[in-house]
Each structure stands twice: as structure tokens, then as C-alpha cells.
Structure 1
Amino acid sequence: MINKLKKSIFFKNSFFYTIGGMMSPLLGFIMLPVYTNYLSPGEYGIMTTTQTLVGMFQIFLVLSLHGAITRFYYDFLDNKVKQKRYLGSIFIFVFVFSSLILLTLILFYEEIGSLLFTNIPIKPFFFYLILISWLSALLSLPLALLRAQEKAGLFVSVNIIQTVLTMCLTIYFIIFKGLGAESALMSQLMVLVLVVLLLYLYSFKFIEFRVEINFIKQSLIFSLPLLPHVASGWIIASSDRVILEKFVNLNELGIYALAVQVSMVLSIFYTSVNNALVPRYTLLRKENKEIESQKLLKTFLYIVIIFGIISIPIAMLATNILSSDSYNQSIWLIPFLLIGHIIKGVYFIPVAKLFYAKNTKAIATSSTIAAIINIIINIVFIPIIGIFGAILSTIIAELCRTILIYTASNEKIFN
């Protein structure tokens, strides 16, 4: 069994992607004593809420075309010229499109910022938000290329470098410069500039700078139906903090944000394994290896269940040890948030099948319905029961989305 695992590309890449994906939550854990001792819960709430909104803006800046790269890349394995032209078309389109949106957001920053923030200052946090979102959108393309090429080692190296640099700069800005909530955002922005430049230099040898409209059209037909799927993931996981910011004080927001940050470690772990699952599953299906592909999905299910259960006591204990007393209330919120992430992990299995079949409509439909349910519960219950309304909305939305997608795919969880 050990020898089989050593030879398995899926397990090898899962290991690498997990290390790479866990860099961000690892940074959060290492920084917990710094954040909770040098930032008030209110400052921590400002910082994490701004970071949360990055996810929403990034989704619409890239139009899910990074997902198209991980799928269409395999259609050109036998034609490197077309593959380079395809990648060049997508890279150029995303750069131009996202840059135009960025300029529009800068021009109307007061109007848009006032809609997003009630208690958080628009200056400078809205500008951190849009610049980090733009750079993150650009970064998603070369990272998708690394995934498609199954270069997990390089993927991990990039994440490690990015995490270490961000951590060092954040510590410097918080402790020695006393920049408060701006510290992590400023560090993230500076490091993103460097990483984006380096990865684009790497990607250029796989790209021909030539735009072919047909490639862009095919990719948009594939990726645009995924927008509700991707956006719903953000809505279910993060919109609660945006709504909470308007109904609770910043200290409560910070306590809830800490519980979310800790519980997100499990979600990022699942996503990291899924980063290895999707290209490996796609390749197995392309090679008509049905039995192997089914075993792969079943293995992923076991990973979701086992790691989900053991994460609950570990996350609570780690938070108790690493955070200061003013954040203790967040410890008892963590188990409920982890339940939502476990449900989300199970959801990835039918998505992999539908993704291969290019049936993104079913994914979009289930995600849209779940997102709507999430927003309704947040709006109704947050003004009444505060952060507990946000927890309730997350669990119910993830459960609805999972049931809908399994129904749409006619797939049983255990088969």
C-alpha cells in the first residue's frame, strides 16, 4: 500500500498542493499571537473583512477563465502551437478586461466604497481591496497553468515564498511601524506584485501573444456558467462578514472573523486536494480508465470525512493556545463552522464529474440556489441573533448545495 501511494501521482500532487494551499492558513496560525496581541478585535475585523471582499472582486475580474485553462489545456496536448495560442488568448483577454474594470472602480471609488463599507473607512481600505483583487486575478492564470501541467512542486514553492515574505513584512509593519489593520494588506499587495511578475515571466515560454476570438468565446461559454458556482462559494463562505459589518460592532465582527479564519484551514485543505483531484480525474477519464477514476473519487470522500472529524478538537485547542483572552468566544463557534466545510468537501465529488463533462449548467444552478438561500438567511437572522445567524446560514446553504448537485448528477455519495 505504501509503495502504491508513493507511485500515485494523485497522492504526490495532493501532498504538494496541500502544503502549498496550507501556507495561507499556516500564516494565519503563526500570526495569531501577533494579531490578537497587537490588533484589537475591531482592527482584526477590518483587516479580514477587506481580505474577504478580495475573493468576490477577483471572481468577476477573471470570469472563472482560470478554470477554463485547467480544462481546455488537455484538448491541445497533441498540438503545442494551438496550446500556446489558446493560453495567449486567455492571458491577454483577462489582463485587458480586468484592467478596464480596475480603472472603473478607481474612478467611482466613493460611490462603490460607500455601498460596501459602513464602519470601515473607504480610504485606504477600498484601494487595498481593488488592487489586491486585480493582482490576484492576474495571478490565478499562471497558477492554473501550473495545475494543468501538474507541476505541483513549483506551485508549492511559489506559495511558500509568497507566505514567508508576506509574514515577515506583516510582522514588521504591525510591531515596528504600528500600522494596525493596514499591515497585512500592505504586505499582501507588495508581495503580490513580485510574485505576479515572476510567474508571468515563467509563463511566457508557454504562450504565444496572439488573440484568437474563437478560443476566448469557447472558454467563456465554458467558464461563465461557472461564475454562479464560484461566486456562490464566496457568498456562502464570506458574505456573512460583509452583512455582519452593517449590524454588529467591529469587536464582534473580529471575534467571528477569527473563528472563520481558523475553520477555513479545513476548507483550504479540501481545496488543495481537489486541485490534484480535478486534473488527475480528467486525465483518467480521457484515457477511459473508469475504474481508476471512481476509486479516486471514493478516496477523496474518505479524506473529507476523516480529516473533517479530527480537525474539530485540533482547531479548538490551537485557537485556545495561540489567541489572547479577548478572542476566547471564537473557540466555541469553530465546530459549527467546520461542519459546513465538511459538507462542502463532499460537494466537490459530483462537481469533478460534471466539470469533466463540461456540464457547468447544473453546477451553476445548484450554486445559485444555495447562494440565494444563504443571503436570505443572513439578512433575516443576523439582525436578530448576530453571528449565530451567519453560522446558521453557512451550514444550511452548504447542505442545500450538496443535495442539489448530487440530485442533478444522479450520483450517490457512497457507491
Structure 2
Amino acid sequence: MDNKSLLKGTLVYTLSNVVTKMGSLVFLPIITRLLTVEEYGIVGMLEPIATLFAVFLGLGIYNAQMKKYVDLKDDPKEFGSFLFSSFFVIIVFNLLVFLFLITPFSKKIFSYIIDLNKIDYNSLIILTIVIGFVNALNTLAITLFRMKKMYRKVAFGSLIKLFSNYFLAIYFIKYMKLGALGNQIANFAAVVLLLIYCFKDYFGKFNFKFKKEYVNYSLKNGLPLIFIELTDQIVNFSDRIVLGKFIPIAIVGAYSLAFTGGRALSVITGSFINSWTPEFYEAMKTDRNNPKITKSLETFLGIISFACVIAQLFAPEAIKLIFPKSYAAAIDFIPYVLAGIVIQALVCLDYFFHFHEDSMYIFYFSVFAMAFNLIGNLILIPNFKSYGVFIALWTTILAFLLRAVAEMVVIKRKYHISFNYKKMFFYLIILLNPVIFYLSNHEVSWMKFALKIVYLGIIAKILINKEVAEKIKNIFKKFVKR
């Protein structure tokens, strides 16, 4: 595994993600002042639809693309033929899907899932699905750029999407008075701009020579991933849809704010996974028992756990200072959202199965996690509506945790790769314990702030030893030299 390349990729992605995530946080207070809590709740319910359809409409082909790039990267024409063949399948499939969506039967199906009295089907739902389709195409391009280690290309693309999205959202919401619809129109324009930006370096590489064997390869390696990712995203996002059916949409708005704000932690998690993935494939191809692969994951989990504790402790002050009072309910949800994001980062374990072409194992784990989460929500939330959000939070945390544990056990037995389970369990206790929940609740005082500082110092002393501190110091020294 090329540690220098991994370091460079992580830092470049981190810097770009810092800008995009911090940019999102900067614009978020503006958006929450332009949208009512109810309107923000609608936006929060539309996001899962876009995400789920981006997975479904992309047919999981980006995974096949990663694997095939390693084999064909020295033959641009042949790889271009692969790109065109797989893209052709996606276009045909999407045309059929959109023909179905305009039928009354499709609208009837959606009415069982979403209250169409709150969210209009013809404008909001259809537009959001189109956004999902464009995002699926963008995922193909961005994934290839990551495999090619085109770090700056990926980073700049994320900036284009960020700023175009929020500037246009402000225009359509504030000046055009379009509310949640204005937000979705801006989102659509932003993903189209990103697609145009990616066009030359992705679609421009097509070799218009259709090959059936590449279609078969793409579907074989991609289709299992659809179900795997859909189950993951259902665990991650379905809670908002279920909550929207049984509790006031204003509460869904506060929960959506907590979820969106908590995703700032994914600056670190996403950056590592994005740069670790190509390095992982190269390392596994050379030495499948390389201990650095698992050790890097364990160290990474410790670092993001410390970052999570910082965010958990001081989120109440930040929310009260930055956001309107109508969104104050989000404070009590944040600690759970942040802990869930850390646990969810272990989704990178999936790549052990992808590499060995055992993706069906992930499907089994994902289905179990989805069933646990969805059934728990559907049974408990309608019967305990006043605790609905906390039920959704805990079912999500437990679903991701159970899946990660199952994956590590199978990886050890099947591929003889071990993890430090005691260390990982210790990190979990740090994130989810009565002390952190007390210090991070909505009650804010100077005494409590002082206790937070003391608690943070204790956690820092436990997690950051001399060896870890030296590693962090060396990382930044190498980055400065570059």
C-alpha cells in the first residue's frame, strides 16, 4: 500500500471536504431562515428519495468500473469500450423507469410510502428522482477520477456542486418564493453543472464499440451492489420517511437539521474512505495479508471517535448560537447522529468482500440491518410517537453496529484477517455513554461548559498517546513539504 499516495489523497479530499462541508454549514443557517421548519422537513424527506434512486438507477455499475479499471487502465480504447457498453445499459434502463413513473400506478405506489398531501408527486417527487438519475451518472465519473487519483478534479467538482446549489437555492427560495420546490430546482441545476464539468474526462473517453461481455460483467458485479447499497441507504435514510408518516413534519425538520449538521463529521470519514479505496485494491492485489490495511482502519476509527466527541460536546452551543430557535429540538438528536456516522464509516469493510468478488455476503448483512432498522421503526414509532426520533436514532445505530460486527467476524474466518475488537469496543463506549449524553443535551451553562472541557481533556489523554501524536505530526509535516 502506497502510504504517501494514501496520505496525499486523504489530505486533498479532507481539504476539499472541509471546504464543502463547512460551506454547507455556513449556508445551512441561511437556508433554515428562508425555509420554515415544515418546509425543511419536506426537503429532509426528499433527500432519501434522491439518494435511493441514485443507487437504483446507477445499477451499481461504478463498482464494476473500479475493478475493470485496474485490469484495463493500460488499454484506453478497450476501457473506453467498457465505459460505453455499461453506460448504454444504464440509459436504456432509466428510460424504462421514467416511462413507468409517469403512469397513475406509480403515483399510487408512492402514496403508500409518502403522504402526497404534504409532498406533491408531479413536481417534487419526479424532480427529485431526476436528480437521483443525474447523481448516478456523476457517481460513475467521480469514481473513475478517484481510481485515477485525480484528486484535484474530484475536489473542484465538489466545490462546483456546493456553491451552485446554495447560491441558486437562495435565489429560488428567497426571490422566487418557491420554498422546498426552489431548493430542489437548485439541487437539479447543481448536479447538471457537475455532469457538464465531468463530461470531457469521463464521457469523452468513450470508445463507441458496444461489447456484450462488458455488459454481462457490469451487471454481474453491479446488480448485487444495488441491493446492498439500497439496504444501507434504507437504514440511513428511511427513518425520515417513516417519521414523516406518523409525527409532525416540523419535528422531521429538526431531525433533518441534526442529521445534516452531523454529517460535517463525514469530512474525515469520507476523505479517508475515498483515498483508501484505490490504495486498498492495489495493496490487496499485491499482498492480501498486509497488516497495514487493518491497522490503518483501527487508527482511523480512533481519530474520528475523538473528533466525534468534540462535536458531541459543543454542538448545543453551536446550534443555539447559529440557528433559529424553532430548530432547537435538533440539539438532543445530534449526539446520536454523530455516533451513528462513526459506526457507519465501517462500511469500508465492504471492500474486502468486493475485492474477493463475494458481494453476496454484504447483501446478507445489509438485508439483516435493513430489516432490523425498518421493522423496528414501523413497529415502535407508531406506538410510541413521542419517542419516535430517538427510536429511529437507536435502530439506525444498532443496525450499522450489528452489520459491522458480522462483517469483521466473517472477514476473519473467511480471509484470515483480524481486527482489534477490544480497541474498537472501547471507541464505541466513548461515543455512547450516559456522561456524553448529559453533557451534550439542550441545557447550556458555564459550569457545564467547564465540565465539557475537563471531559474532553480526559478523552484526549486516553486516545492520543505519544505514538499517535507523533504520527499526526508527521502527516502534517509531509503535507507541508509537498
TM over 0.5: yes
Shift of 1:209: 1.7
Give the counterpart letter for 2:364 in structure 1.
T
Rounded Cα–Cα distance in structure 2 between residues aligned with 1:102 and 1:389 = 35
Give the counterpart letter for 2:113 in structure 1.
L
Further displaced range: 173-182 or 154-163: 173-182
Rounded Cα–Cα distance in structure 2 between residues aligned with 1:295 and 1:82 = 36
Maintained 8 Å contact 1:42/1:251? yes
1:79 matched to 2:75? The reply is: yes
Aligned position for 2:358 = 359
Maintained 8 Å contact 2:21/2:264? yes
Matches within 5 A, 1:293-304: 293-304=293-304
Aligned position for 2:393 = 391
Further displaced range: 314-323 or 144-153: 314-323
Rounded Cα–Cα distance in structure 2 between residues aligned with 1:191 and 1:107 = 28
Give the counterpart letter for 2:302 in structure 1.
Y
Shift of 1:268: 5.5
Maintained 8 Å contact 1:173/1:179? yes
After superposition, the C-alpha distances for 1:325-362 in whole angstroms (9 at most, x for unaligned) are 111111111001211122122342x3232222222121
Identify if the C-alpha distance between structure 1 residues 190 and 77 changes in structure 2 by more than 3 Å, giving closer, same or farther: closer
Rounded Cα–Cα distance in structure 2 between residues aligned with 1:143 and 1:99 = 23
Identify if the C-alpha distance between structure 1 residues 11 and 316 changes in structure 2 by more than 3 Å, giving closer, same or farther: farther
Aligned position for 1:318 = 318
Rounded Cα–Cα distance in structure 2 between residues aligned with 1:297 and 1:75 = 26
Aligned position for 2:441 = none
Aligned position for 1:403 = 405
SS of the residue 2:246 aligns to:
coil
1:111 matched to 2:111? The reply is: no
Rounded Cα–Cα distance in structure 2 between residues aligned with 1:22 and 1:114 = 38
Rounded Cα–Cα distance in structure 1 between residues aligned with 2:227 and 2:107 = 27
Rounded Cα–Cα distance in structure 2 between residues aligned with 1:19 and 1:204 = 27
SS of the residue 1:120 aligns to:
coil
Give the counterpart letter for 2:261 in structure 1.
V
Aligned position for 2:339 = 339
1:182 matched to 2:188? The reply is: no
Rounded Cα–Cα distance in structure 1 between residues aligned with 2:65 and 2:205 = 13
Shift of 1:23: 5.5
Rounded Cα–Cα distance in structure 2 between residues aligned with 1:232 and 1:140 = 18
Shift of 1:314: 4.3
1:17 matched to 2:13? The reply is: yes
Identify if the C-alpha distance between structure 1 residues 295 and 391 changes in structure 2 by more than 3 Å, giving closer, same or farther: closer
After superposition, the C-alpha distances for 1:351-395 in whole angstroms (9 at most, x for unaligned) are 232222222121111111001100011101111132122112111
Give the counterpart letter for 2:53 in structure 1.
F
Rounded Cα–Cα distance in structure 1 between residues aligned with 2:18 and 2:234 = 22
Give the counterpart letter for 1:61 in structure 2.
L
- When normalised by structure 1's length, the TM-score is 0.92
Shift of 1:229: 2.2
Shift of 1:288: 3.1
* Deviation beyond 6 Å, 4+ runs, structure 1: none
Structure whose alpha-carbon radius of gyration is higher: 2
Rounded Cα–Cα distance in structure 1 between residues aligned with 2:223 and 2:184 = 29
Maintained 8 Å contact 1:281/1:296? no
Maintained 8 Å contact 1:85/1:207? yes
After superposition, the C-alpha distances for 1:198-251 in whole angstroms (9 at most, x for unaligned) are 312321342212221211212222222222321122111100011111101111
Further displaced range: 283-292 or 52-61: 283-292
Rounded Cα–Cα distance in structure 1 between residues aligned with 2:73 and 2:286 = 13
Identify if the C-alpha distance between structure 1 residues 309 and 132 changes in structure 2 by more than 3 Å, giving closer, same or farther: same
Further displaced range: 41-50 or 112-121: 112-121
Further displaced range: 55-64 or 170-179: 170-179
Aligned position for 2:46 = 50
After superposition, the C-alpha distances for 1:175-197 in whole angstroms (9 at most, x for unaligned) are 22222112221101112222213
Maintained 8 Å contact 1:262/1:319? no
Matches within 5 A, 1:5-404: 8-21=4-17, 25-108=21-104, 109-118=106-115, 119-267=118-266, 269-288=268-287, 290-348=290-348, 350-383=349-382, 384=384, 385-404=387-406
Give the counterpart letter for 2:370 in structure 1.
A
SS of the residue 1:208 aligns to:
coil
Shift of 1:94: 1.5
Give the counterpart letter for 1:201 in structure 2.
K
Give the counterpart letter for 1:60 in structure 2.
F
Shift of 1:317: 3.5
Give the counterpart letter for 1:341 in structure 2.
I
RMSD: 2.2
Rounded Cα–Cα distance in structure 2 between residues aligned with 1:194 and 1:22 = 21
The structure showing larger relative contact order (alpha-carbon pairs under 8 Å, at least 6 residues apart) is 1
Maintained 8 Å contact 1:69/1:148? no
Further displaced range: 89-98 or 376-385: 89-98
Shift of 1:63: 1.4
Maintained 8 Å contact 1:236/1:394? yes
Number of matched pairs: 409
Maintained 8 Å contact 2:224/2:360? yes
After superposition, the C-alpha distances for 1:229-279 in whole angstroms (9 at most, x for unaligned) are 211221111000111111011111111111111122224641332111111
Unaligned runs of 5+ in 1: none
Give the counterpart letter for 1:222 in structure 2.
N
Unaligned runs of 5+ in 2: 422-482
Rounded Cα–Cα distance in structure 2 between residues aligned with 1:325 and 1:147 = 41
Rounded Cα–Cα distance in structure 1 between residues aligned with 2:340 and 2:418 = 19
Maintained 8 Å contact 2:146/2:154? yes
Shift of 1:298: 3.9
Rounded Cα–Cα distance in structure 1 between residues aligned with 2:402 and 2:166 = 37
Question: Identity rate of aligned residues, in percent?
Answer: 26
Rounded Cα–Cα distance in structure 1 between residues aligned with 2:311 and 2:212 = 46
Rounded Cα–Cα distance in structure 1 between residues aligned with 2:306 and 2:61 = 32
Identify if the C-alpha distance between structure 1 residues 19 and 104 changes in structure 2 by more than 3 Å, giving closer, same or farther: farther
